[in-house]
Amino acid sequence: MTLSRIAPYLQATPLTAILAAFLVLPIATIVMVSFWDYDSIQIFPAFVFTNYEESLTSPVTWSTYLNTLKYTVIVWAVTLLIGFWVAYYLAFHIRSATMQMVLFLVCTIPFLTSNIIRMISWIPFLGRNGLLNQTLMTMGLIDRPLEFLLFSDFAVVLAMVHLYTLFMVTPIFNTLMRIDRALIEAARDAGANGFQILTNVIIPLAKPGIAIGSIFVVTLVMGDFITVRFMSGGQSASVGLMMANQIALLQYPAAAANAVILLVLVLLLVGAILRIVNIRKEL
Amino acid sequence: MNSERRGPGFYVLTAFFVLFVLFLYGPMTTIFILSFQGPNGGLTFPMNGVSLRWFENLLFEQQAVGDFGGAFSRSLMLGIMTMLTTVVVSLLAGLAFRRRFLGAGPLFYLAIASLIVPSILISLGIGLAFNVFGLEPAWYSSGFGAHLTWTLPFGLLIMFAVFNRFNPAYEEAARDLGATPWQTFAHVVLPIILPSLIGVGLFGFTLSYDEFARTLMTSGSFNTLPLEIYGMTTNVTTPVLYALGTVTTVFSMAVILLALAVIAVLRKRRARRLAG
């Protein structure tokens, strides 16, 4: 009897140990180092607030955070719109379970391939001499190549939507599949039209999935730096990119202070989403 | 519902879905085609002839920068290590969460936190921790741990989904027939959840194989493949970049299809056994 009593503890130990060593400890280190001091060669233990002070009093930081929030809001809205309708189509319009599975896998497979390659693959499409510009010029819609397509905010948002929409599709699809079809029948019998069924039955029941998808997308975009660096061609800033640059300059305490601020902001956003929607029954 | 006629909504949404799939696969197809660019071709259309020149260049010639072979074998090894660890650790944790235990709540929230803490924070944190403790970061130590913080929560969530649908009557039946806990696990539970474990393994491998941000500060002195590819984007201006993209994507696709095929075969065999 004792063995079965301690079994769950033994089984949970590897996960606990790995998360303690590679999640808790590193974040504790970040918090610690954010109070350290540094010069151009090295970092050294101290207890100073200068890293936070410099970061929070600099207008560059504020505009960088604003820019990151701008990306977050736009990408969130677009992925939610696309993700909901894709999930809705798969859940309610595809009638055979096999077809549902196949189409869902078609959406999932790109997610399992390299993000960097998926970003690179926009270059021949959006570039100055890219497919889109060539097509538009052949069709006579424009007479000069559009410059804003690649290396711009537009490109950043497009690539993020491309990379992250699946994180919206999967949880929403999951909740939609669990909706009891009898509820929809009942609404229809009670005289509701398609739009009323959508807004009064389906969307309220899909809220937990929408919340989980939103948490994924918001945290991914808030911490992103590679998409911003690559797709904006170094012309736009994000918090992650600012940290990556500080890391490259070996200003670890400054990067750590920014990391702490970013983490607090992300947790506040996640907390706000969880206050609006209760996702507990989803897990 | 099957007898219903398709409304106009169906056709609008079908068109929307097709556009979405084109959006997902279109750019990938473009670089796939462009990687067969002729020897004098550039990074954009038109195709200047068709050749295998850039694949040859990638696979058999010394690159001005980078080490494709070394990076690939490191990423492959790291992916396999991450896959095996993710499968074993998430299975064990999944089993643990089937029962009550002290600290189950905090551990669950910790796993979720691991999913929502931005990748660059994990990267910076592990890099700094190794630095503070005077350890040398390397892809097989710090990089490995960084990847696990991303793959384990996914594995755990999949195990939750599996065990929520798992019918405990099978285990009770085995116990009633006199099976030991180990026999129950090995002969009853494991065969039933095997397809899902392969799914967990697939996630573990591909997420690790493609991970960039978490490897950035944790890989030490040798690059993994995504870091190598990123390095190439700033230096390489020939279609060899696309050849590399095609090769790694084809490799990822092969791994995914292999895993899906194994899952399909296991499901079919089980269905046949249950029927016979």
Distance from the Cα of B165 to chain A's closest Cα (Å) equals 12
* Closest residue in B to A21 (Cα–Cα): B145
CB proximity list for B101: less than 8 A, separation 6 or greater: A8, A9, A12
Whether B105 shows a pLDDT value over 80: the answer reads: yes
Whether the Cβ atoms of residue B192 and residue B267 lie closer than 8 Å to each other:
no
CB-based contact B125 A27, cutoff 8 Å:
yes
Confidence at residue A283, expressed as pLDDT on a 0 to 100 scale: 55
Instruction: Kindly state whether residue A151 falls inside one of the protein's structural domains.
Output: yes
Distance from the Cα of A16 to chain B's closest Cα (Å) equals 7
- Residue whose tokens read 């350290």: A36
Instruction: Kindly state whether residue A184 falls inside one of the protein's structural domains.
Output: yes
Encoded tokens for A258 = 């920014």
At B39 the three-state DSSP class reads coil
CATH of the domain at A170: 1.10.3720.10
Confidence at residue B65, expressed as pLDDT on a 0 to 100 scale: 61
CA atoms within 13 A on the CB side of B50: 2
- Give the type of residue at B22: L
CB-based contact A21 B145, cutoff 8 Å:
yes
Residues in B touching A88 (Cβ below 8 Å):
13
Whether B274 shows a pLDDT value over 60: the answer reads: yes
At B50 the three-state DSSP class reads strand
Instruction: Kindly state whether residue A30 falls inside one of the protein's structural domains.
Output: no
* pLDDT above 70 as % of chain B: 96
Domain containing residue A74 = 59-282
B237 vs B174: which has the higher pLDDT: B174
Whether B2 shows a pLDDT value over 50: the answer reads: no
* Closest residue in B to A3 (Cα–Cα): B181
**How many A-B residue pairs are in contact by the CB < 8 A criterion?**
251
CB-based contact A114 B23, cutoff 8 Å:
no
Distance from the Cα of B125 to chain A's closest Cα (Å) equals 4
Distance from the Cα of B252 to chain A's closest Cα (Å) equals 6
Whether A1 shows a pLDDT value over 80: the answer reads: no
CB-based contact A225 B120, cutoff 8 Å:
yes
pTM of the model: 0.89
CB-based contact B110 A19, cutoff 8 Å:
yes
Whether B223 shows a pLDDT value over 50: the answer reads: yes
Spell out the alpha helix ranges (H) of chain A. Answer: 2-19, 25-33, 50-57, 59-88, 97-108, 115-120, 123-126, 131-138, 153-178, 181-189, 194-197, 203-223, 226-231, 239-248, 252-276
At B37 the three-state DSSP class reads strand
pLDDT bracket for residue B63 (50, 70, 90):
low
Question: What are the residue ranges spanned by the domains of chain B?
Answer: 67-235
By Cβ distance, the residue of B17, B113, B242 closest to A86 is B17
Instruction: Kindly state whether residue A109 falls inside one of the protein's structural domains.
Output: yes
pLDDT tens figures, A70-117: 999 999 999 999 999 999 999 998 888 889 989 998 998 888 888 888
Residues in B touching A115 (Cβ below 8 Å):
210, 212, 226
Considering the domain delimited by B67-235, tell me its CATH architecture. Orthogonal Bundle (1.10)
Tell me the average pLDDT across B82-100. 94
pLDDT bracket for residue A27 (50, 70, 90):
very high
ipTM of the complex model: 0.88
**Cα–Cα distance for residue pair A180/B232, rounded to 1 Å:** 51
What DSSP assignment string belongs to B103-144? THHHHHHHHHHHHHS-HHHHHHHHHHHHHHTTPPP-IIIIIH
- Give the type of residue at A20: A
Instruction: Kindly state whether residue A200 falls inside one of the protein's structural domains.
Output: yes
CB-based contact A230 B233, cutoff 8 Å:
yes
Of the candidate ranges A231-240, B38-47, B73-82, B218-227, the one whose mean pLDDT is the lowest: B38-47
Dmax (CA) of chain A: 80
* pLDDT above 70 as % of chain A: 98
At A199 the three-state DSSP class reads helix
Residues in A touching B127 (Cβ below 8 Å):
247
* Closest residue in B to A22 (Cα–Cα): B145
B17 vs A6: which has the higher pLDDT: B17
Tell me the average pLDDT across B173-187. 90
Tell me the average pLDDT across B152-163. 92
Instruction: Kindly state whether residue A9 falls inside one of the protein's structural domains.
Output: no
pLDDT tens figures, A186-221: 999 998 888 899 999 999 999 999 999 999 999 999
Distance from the Cα of A130 to chain B's closest Cα (Å) equals 6
Number of structural domains chain A divides into? 1
Residues in B touching A30 (Cβ below 8 Å):
121, 124-125, 128
Instruction: Kindly state whether residue A221 falls inside one of the protein's structural domains.
Output: yes
Instruction: Kindly state whether residue A225 falls inside one of the protein's structural domains.
Output: yes
